[in-house]
Structure 1
Amino acid sequence: MITSVFSKSKPINFIIVAVYVSILFVLTNYSAMLSNMQSGLAVLFKWFLTLFLVFLLDFIVSKNNLTQRNSYAIMTFGLLVGLLPEALKHTDLLLSNLFVIFALRRLISLHSKLHIKKKLFDAAFWIGIAALFYFWAILFFALILVALIYYAQNDIKNVIIPFTGMATALILLMAYNIVFYDVYFNPSDFERYASLDFTAYNSRESILKLTILFSLLVWALFYYFRMIPDKNKKLKPSYFLIAWASVIAVLIALIAPIKNGSEFLFLLAPFAIVMANYMEMISERWFKEVFVGLLIVVPIIGLML
């Protein structure tokens, strides 16, 4: 029933997802909203970022024909937010994820073969900016290297350009430090931590959520890779980029110094696209409903554990 509503791309579907995400957002940030005006404004900004992420995902998917004419991607994104509501609490992660999606958008659009150098520069620049808010977003630079293999391996200029984009982001950091701190770099700019301590997940709620999340991810990716050969030849690199983005997002979550669920934020957008493509190939409607039902029921069960 739910999947039939989102089987067509309609404006009402975006509104439904926006309302659902907004409700989750209020429930997650309720205490901060009422503490003081400054916190309330910060929460309002995070709410705007969250809705903009939904809009941006919908725009990228429809603009680049990454799915058929449906709203499965934003539906999955909204349900994943419900599974990992902690992701809505951290402004730095939301901003970093936004800039990563900006970069992913530029890389996906390389299939047009237009303005390749500009798009490579933009992608590297946005990833550099994303890394200023959350350092491990720098790992998404690997996506640019993958894109170079597909689109521009024969032009040495295209190899150099992404590094100039990263350098530009670094120059902006230096300018910021000079203006506000009168130094080129702050020691805090280079304090980067990683952790492989997973004891934070040692609860029944976390185990349940992560089991469902990774089970669905592995299952959907398996069929996603199987369907790529049948896709439009022009768009195949874009589908591979999305798959690699999912892998990098999982790696970031694994090494994240703080593990509270928010570290999976980078996974939501690429996973939503992967899941949308998988749902398109399922002919049995009841099977689609099972996947959606899992993403709805698991957060509720998690609250009871």
Structure 2
Amino acid sequence: MLTNLFSKSRPIGYVVIGLMLLATYILHLLSDLKWLQSPTVVIEKSFLFVVMVFSVLLIQFITVKNYLAVNNLYSLFLYACFLILFPTFYDDAQLIIANLLVLLALRRIISLQTLNEPKIKIFDASLWIFVATLFESWTILYFVMIYLAIIWYVNQDYRNWIIPLIALLTVTILFYTYSLFYNINLVEFWTDKYDVGFNFSYFENVYQNIALSFLATIAVLFTVYQLTNLKSIATNQLTLYKNIVLCFVIGAAIYIITPEKSNGLLVFTFFPLSIIGGNFIANTPIKWVKEAVLATILGVSLLLFLLKL
């Protein structure tokens, strides 16, 4: 059933995924009705849901545009399940916005493989990442992907190496202007943001721990599959999938080193995991195995979501 529903890019598949996210988002908000007391907060929550939906659609755009999957919705479905598995993400406006900005940057980084307008893409990707650091500081680690993409695709032109610094200068000037208006101490702002911490005892209930363990199991399965299948990937696509694996490593690193941890920080691993997982499911020849994987991920995600309400 699930295999047939998401094996092709059909409108009904998008509708089902959208309803899954809307239903779980509303149920999560209804668990604490304080937000209804302020019209401003109601507008903010509505806006954040729109941002999340846009992020999900952006993932499908990146997937299809760069041939990361063959005309299916498996990656989109997995991404939605991961969001449902960690609903603390729904409450964090900073993370929701930072995640969108990172996805916009990854869209430009991944599309560098086409070699069309590389300078514009490098600038855009750098700009999105530097803006994302204002919301989640350790997203600066994605800067590594920009320079690796330059090495892999467009290292002949020395000007490409300077463009990220121009983007940094642009964001610095704009944020400095903003700080003057709102009396922000820039030194304190940045020094407070770049702390490192390895305290993992933040779980509010046992279900958060189970959800993390479940995602870790999925991550190991999907990553081992991807690494063992790199040799079978076409040469022109190999660097692209190395980028996806690197994206997962950076997302995991952000979660590990951020001092104020929450399961919501794992959102930075969802995009690469959903791509790798989508290919794993699509390339599995036995239909009942596909169905079992999809049903297990959906079932566990919904069960843990309901138990955490």
Is 1:32–1:39's contact at 8 Å kept on the other side of the alignment?
Answer: no
Change (3 A) 1:273 1:32: farther
Amino acid across the alignment from 2:138:
W
- CA change 1:184–1:204 in 2 (3 A) is closer
Cα pair 1:111 1:238 within 8 Å, conserved: yes
Contact 1:194 1:257 in 2 (8 A): yes
- CA shift, 1:233, in A, is 2.8
Q: Using the TM superposition, give the Cα deviation of residue 197 of structure 1 relative to its aligned residue in structure 2, in angstroms.
A: 0.5
**Structure 1 residue 149: deviation in Å?**
2.2
1:238 positional shift: 1.8
Using a 3 Å threshold, how does the CA distance of structure 1 residues 293 and 42 change in structure 2: closer, same or farther?
A: same
State the alpha-carbon separation in 1 of the partners of residues 167 and 241 from structure 2: 24
Query: After superposition, where does 1:1-150 map in structure 2 within 5 Å?
Result: 1-30=1-30, 31-150=33-152
Distance 1:120 1:300 in 2: 39
Q: Which residue of 251, 255, 269 corresponds with 1:253?
A: 255
For structure 2, list consecutive stretches of 5 or more residues without a partner in the other structure. Answer: none
1:244-294: CA deviations, max 9, x gaps?
Answer: 111110111112222231111111122111111111111112222222222
Task: Supply the distance in 2 between the matched residues of 1:273 and 1:152 (Cα, whole angstroms).
Answer: 25
What is the match of residue 296 of structure 1? 298
> What displacement does 1:172 show?
1.5
Residues 104-149 of structure 1, C-alpha deviations (whole Å, 9 max, x = no match): 0001111111111111111111100000111011111111122122
Instruction: Indicate which of 261, 267, 275 corresponds to 1:265.
Output: 267
Change (3 A) 1:32 1:251: farther
Q: Could you tell me whether the CA contact under 8 Å between 2:81 and 2:301 is conserved in 1?
A: no
Q: How big is the shift at 1:241?
A: 1.1
Cross-structure match for 2:220:
218
Change (3 A) 1:87 1:73: same
Find the residue that maps to 1:133 and give its secondary structure.
coil
Deviates more, 1:29-38 or 1:18-27: 29-38
Pick closer, same or farther for the CA change 1:19–1:300 going to 2, 3 Å. closer
Deviates more, 1:111-120 or 1:198-207: 198-207
1:47 and 1:251 map into 2 onto residues whose CA distance is 26
Q: CA deviation at 1:215?
A: 1.1
- What are the superposed Cα offsets for residues 64-120 of structure 1, whole Å, 9 maximum, x if unpaired? 111011011110011111111111111111111111000100011111111111111
**1:105-254 residue pairs with structure 2 within 5 A?**
105-181=107-183, 185=186, 187-192=188-193, 193-201=195-203, 203-254=205-256
Give CA-to-partner distance per residue, 1:20-57, whole Å, 9 cap, x none: 11111112223254232111011011111111111111
Aligned-residue Cα RMSD (Å) equals 1.9
Secondary structure of 2:236's aligned partner: coil
Distance in 2 (alpha carbons) for counterparts of 1:49 and 1:14: 16
- Which whole-Å CA distance do the structure 1 matches of 2:68 and 2:301 have between them? 28
How many pairs align? 304
Using the alignment, how far apart are the partners of 1:232 and 1:238 within structure 2? 10
Identity rate, percent: 27
TM-score of the aligned structures, taking structure 2 as reference length: 0.92
Q: Is the 8 A contact 1:46 1:91 kept in 2?
A: yes
Say if 1:99 and 1:126, in contact at 8 Å, map to a contact too.
Answer: yes
* Partners of 1:213 and 1:134 in 2: CA distance: 22
- Secondary structure of 1:218's aligned partner: helix
Output the TM-score relative to the length of structure 1.
0.93
